[in-house]
Amino acid sequence: MARSVTPRRKLINTTVAWAIGLLIFFPILWTILTSFKSEAEAIAAPPIFLGFDWTLENYRIVMERSDYGRFLWNSIIIAGLSTVLGCIIAVPAAWSMAFVPSKRTKDILLWMLSTKMLPAVGVLYPIYLIFIELGLLDSRAGLVVVLMLINLPIIVWMLYTYFKEIPGEILEAARMDGATLRQELIYVLTPMAVPGIASTLLLNFILAWNEAFWTLNLTAVNAAPLTAFIASYSSPEGLFFAKLSAASTMAIAPILILGWFSQKQLVRGLTFGAVK
């Protein structure tokens, strides 16, 4: 509904919007700044905003203490594969729900969402025991499957809403031209749904990256992602604000950068069918 406004209005709007944006972003900015301070400067009173001795010491300590590369790689693999796997399973399901709806379609959709309501802590023991039986503890494969299942309802839901926006007539026309189901999926539907699928992938990558219960409880060394990395930097002995900030920055930086590059996609695509 964007309209043209007077320059004065625009100035006011700009000021307010920037103020709010900076306010919301400030905790992250402050964390990043603190990560370049010494521990003493990190707790200095009054706080120092920029005029401190910039140092990379905290990053050096964190790198020395933890194998950051491995945690990062695990995060990428687990979040990435669970998202891709989820999409592979969800695309056909969402397609059929959107284009061959039955009476029960909505019930199935809502039921899928309701599987997310089982409290994770309540089923830790069952899942842990199953993982032992299957030899999946501390394996990336196990986590990929769990995170995929956790996010599957959201993926199905998102894709369903995108697919529903694709006009049925186009499919109809394709079918008239003799397209098989498979051709229809690949040549007609997929291109139209690519923006939707892209933002679905993105959102689920973020959700999987940030999942902090199963990734922490089902891993030890081999599959431990960044959520486990950060668990070793909270409240140790002594001053730790600067080191905590460095570790935090390292944990969120990759996803933050990815998010920034793809924010247009997110802004456009994250609708869940909110727009009719």
Q: Is 173 in the site for another protein (CB under 8 A)?
A: no
Residue with Cβ nearer another protein (97 or 201)? 97
Q: Please report whether residue 144 would count as binding another protein according to CB under 8 A.
A: yes
188 forms part of the interface with another protein (CB under 8 A): no
**Short-list 193, 210, 216, CA closest to 258:** 210
Q: How far is the CB of 188 from another protein (least distance, A)?
A: 14
Can you say whether the dihedral through the CA atoms of 249, 254, 255, 260 is positive or negative?
positive
CB of 60 to another protein, least distance (A): 13
Please tell me the distance from the alpha carbon of residue 236 to that of residue 85, in angstroms, as a whole number: 38
Cα–Cα dist 259/254, whole Å: 9
Residue 77 beta carbon to another protein: minimum distance, rounded to whole angstroms: 6
List binders of another protein among 20-79 (CB under 8 A): 20-22, 24-25, 27-28, 30-31, 34, 39, 43, 45-47, 64-66, 77
| Beta carbon of residue 244, minimum distance to another protein (angstroms, whole number) | 6
Report the C-alpha gap between 69 and 87 in whole angstroms.
27
The nearer residue to another protein, 56 or 221, going by C-beta atoms, is 221
Pick the closer one to another protein by CB: 127 or 192: 127
Shortest spacing between CB 209 and another protein, in angstroms: 7
d(CA 218, CA 188): 41
56 or 267, CB closer to another protein? 267
Q: Which of residues 88-127 bind another protein (CB under 8 A)?
A: 88-90, 92-93, 95-97, 99-100, 102, 106, 108, 110, 112-127
* 275 contributes a contact to another protein by CB under 8 A: yes
Q: Is the torsion defined by CA of 258, 259, 261, 262 positive or negative?
A: positive
| By CB under 8 A, residue 16 contacts another protein | yes
Residues 238-257 that bind another protein (CB under 8 A): 238-241, 244-245, 248, 251-252, 255-256
User: Rounded to an integer, what is the distance from CA 85 to the centroid of its chain?
Assistant: 15
Task: Confirm if 74 and 140 have CB atoms less than 8 A apart.
Answer: yes
Any contact of residue 5 with another protein (CB under 8 A)? Answer: yes
176 binds another protein (CB under 8 A): no
Q: Does the protein bind another protein through residue 191 (CB under 8 A)?
A: no
Q: Is 117 helix (H, G, I), strand (E, B) or coil?
A: helix
- Print burial letters for 239-273: b (CB count within 10 Å at least 16), e (below 16): ebbbbbbbbbbbbbeebeeebeebeebeeebeeee
User: Which residue's entry shows tokens 């594969």?
Assistant: 81
